[in-house]
Structure 1
Amino acid sequence: MTDLAQRIQDELIQALERDQLILPTLPEVALRIREAAENPDIGINELAREISNDTALSARLIKVVNSPLLRSRQEITDLNMAVNRLGVVYTANLATGLAMAQLFQATTDIIDRRMREVWARSTEVAGISHVLCRHYTDLKSDQAMLAGLVHLIGVLPILSYAEENSQLLEDATALDLIIERIHPVIGDRILEAWDFPQPLRHVPSQHIDFNRNPDRVDYADIVQVAMLQSVAGTEHPHAMLDWTQISSFARLGLNPASDEEEEDLSAEMEAAMQLLN
């Protein structure tokens, strides 16, 4: 590791430990929707009214509900119908995911490009996670999708730091090393600050722990398998691992040595990946 990368990494870790690292906050609209959804007495009309305060988000929700993945026989034409179709919790999770796209923007071209790349990877993994969850687990597909969206959330503060540090901005290798080493721990801290559900809070760190062996399948397993499938056939280091030794596949009931399951679900996965784009 270069001296620059080591120094910056140490600075970021110290700032995190002292609660001095500026963490991203959920967009206001997402906070309001999640707060509303936590009210046990919330109704379809009330939640739809809260979402309707953001016209762009409302339009995207309706578009998503009419997508091939979620479409029913009846076309959804308004927000009340969309919320009724999805349910309160699913709607809140989906709205959170859609709103998160606002976070992945920057003022410098280099960092903006990187942030968009991270968002693209996150939506791809989220889409695959959604489909894997539906077909191979009893867990909630909306939660799995959200888990996929936030598995790289710890990269954001590092890129924001780089935007203010010209040395790091000009050293792509050092920046990549820092991201690889510390984004998981920062990601966990962000999800804790956002008060995310406990089953999702450690997805950023656990999805890259290839030796973990929980008693039953969980969201980190789903994201781990989705992430690995997203890099299959590339030169990514994780694509070079012996997947038959990674137990998350077995917990999902998948055979990593066979492509049949993925081929059968490829169209559905493609549709899921378009949900958040």
Structure 2
Amino acid sequence: MDRLEAFKTIAAQASRGELAFPANVEASIKLQQALVDPDCHVDLAARLIQADPLLAARTVAIANSVAYNRSGTQISSVRSAVQRLGVRTLQTLVAAVIVRQLGSKLTDPGLRAKVAQLWEHTAHTAALAQVIARRVTHVDPDTAMFAGVVHEVGAFYMLSRAGDFPGLMEGEPEDWIEHGEAIISARVFEELMVPEHVVDAVAAMWTGMRALPPETLGDTLLLADDLAAVRSPMHTRPGATTPQAARTIDFAVGDGTLQAILDESKNEVQSLYAVLML
């Protein structure tokens, strides 16, 4: 089977709801389902998080990060971390675990390198989106960070399937965009219970024009993606800003500028990025 036929096969499977997830991803999806339940309260969320030692450590770490620890008071218990963060931030952390797990079983060095680069790009984008949302666009910061975490989830899924289809990523990686990205991403978003307004924001990011100053969740995500220090190995947006040009993006925000805000928020972005990279 040539690689274009393989892309079409994977897309056809996805369209029928036949998504192939590793066992550890299935377990994390069940956890996400529990957190999305409106009846999930703090005590239950804390118990669910404590059952996963790595996730518990990440939860405490992000609660102590500069972005979430305004008082400077360090905490050590998962329950206290859950109380500080809220369930929506926990959903972002679980989504981050799921996305990273998608490529965890790959053994090919080239594919593992792509997954590593894609996650670095994702972590940069998510951290920047949280700060830009809070300081510039004033959309919900937790939603913005969640959108940053999941905006390339279709690409992660495709990479995870490359182990079953030798040579899948040996040509132009963006061939998969033409031969199945929309179907695959939609089905993975559905499986991960990504809210419709986040799906719409991701779609706007890929197809829209950057508005300066940015206003919407899609604008926030697009600007964060442009400013991310690490580029995606799986996507080049039409009209995307080069890394060199991205460093020159600036505009007025109230009495200041975007660059001033980014300079002031450097530690916050770094702290969020570091937690997502754990």
Identity of aligned residues (%): 19
Secondary structure of the 2:73 match is: coil
Aligned-CA RMSD value = 3.6
Matched, 1:92 2:119: no
Determine the C-alpha separation between the residues in 1 that align with 2:113 and 2:231: 23
Determine the C-alpha separation between the residues in 2 that align with 1:264 and 1:146: 22
Q: Which residue of 2 aligns with 1:80?
A: 79
Partner amino acid, structure 1, of 2:96? G
Q: Which residue of 2 aligns with 1:56?
A: 54
Q: Any unmatched runs of 5+ in structure 2?
A: none
TM-aligned CA distance change 1:10 to 1:59, over 3 Å: closer
Equivalent residue for 1:238, pick from 234, 237, 240: 240
Q: Which residue of 2 aligns with 1:150?
A: 150
Determine the C-alpha separation between the residues in 1 that align with 2:98 and 2:19: 23
Determine the C-alpha separation between the residues in 1 that align with 2:84 and 2:161: 41
Q: Which residue of 1 aligns with 2:110?
A: 110
Equivalent residue for 1:66, pick from 64, 67, 88: 64
Q: Which residue of 1 aligns with 2:136?
A: 136
Matched, 1:177 2:167: no
Q: Is the 8 A contact 1:131 1:272 kept in 2?
A: no
Shift of 1:16: 4.0
Determine the C-alpha separation between the residues in 2 that align with 1:96 and 1:232: 20
Determine the C-alpha separation between the residues in 2 that align with 1:128 and 1:99: 20
Shift of 1:84: 1.2
Q: Is the 8 A contact 2:103 2:159 kept in 1?
A: no
TM-aligned CA distance change 1:19 to 1:99, over 3 Å: closer
Shift of 1:154: 0.7
Secondary structure of the 1:238 match is: coil
Q: Is the 8 A contact 1:57 1:99 kept in 2?
A: no
Partner amino acid, structure 2, of 1:43? H
Determine the C-alpha separation between the residues in 2 that align with 1:119 and 1:187: 16
What pairs up with 1:186-265 in 2 under 5 angstroms?
186-211=184-209, 217-230=215-228, 238-240=240-242, 259-265=259-265
Number of equivalenced pairs: 260
Shift of 1:122: 0.7
TM-aligned CA distance change 1:152 to 1:80, over 3 Å: same
Q: Is the 8 A contact 1:52 1:79 kept in 2?
A: yes
TM-aligned CA distance change 1:265 to 1:183, over 3 Å: farther
* Higher alpha-carbon deviation: 42-51 or 114-123: 42-51
Determine the C-alpha separation between the residues in 2 that align with 1:6 and 1:201: 26
Determine the C-alpha separation between the residues in 2 that align with 1:7 and 1:30: 29
Q: Is the 8 A contact 1:33 1:92 kept in 2?
A: yes
TM-score by length of 2: 0.77
Determine the C-alpha separation between the residues in 2 that align with 1:28 and 1:209: 33
* Higher alpha-carbon deviation: 86-95 or 53-62: 86-95
Determine the C-alpha separation between the residues in 1 that align with 2:167 and 2:207: 31
Q: Any unmatched runs of 5+ in structure 1?
A: none
